[in-house]
Amino acid sequence: MLPLVNLSDDREQQYFADGVTEDLTTDLSQIADSFVISRDTAFTYRDKPVNAKQIGRELSVRYVLEAASSGGIASGGKAQSST
């Protein structure tokens, strides 16, 4: 799970995006027989251009989950993801 990208103009929404990333990482790690990279490893990719295939090779993982948030719940934001 890569860190959510904050698509809003509000830089303070990065806190929301980081929290959702941490929650999703925790939830995904509860799935039996799954391998989820640590939060610290994932956050080394925050604010960097993402090439999912390259990251997959670097981390020796089969799937890379990337997502974006356009704002927090209070602002009526939306989230989107791709694998």
Instruction: Note the pLDDT of residue 23.
Output: 92
Locate 26 and state its tokens. Answer: 């925790």
Distance of CA 78 to the CA centre of its chain: 14
* Domain residue extents for the chain: 5-82
82: part of which helix (H) or strand (E)? strand 79-82
Q: What is the pLDDT of residues 58-80, one digit of tens each?
A: 989 888 888 887 765 444 555 55
DSSP 3-72: PPEE-SS-TTHHHHHHHHHHHHHHHHHTSTT-----HHHHHTTTTS---HHHHHHHHT-S---EEEESS-
Query: What is the pTM assigned to this prediction?
Result: 0.73
Q: What is the pLDDT of residues 1-52, one digit of tens each?
A: 889 888 888 878 888 889 889 999 999 999 999 889 888 999 999 888 878 8
Instruction: Note the pLDDT of residue 75.
Output: 46
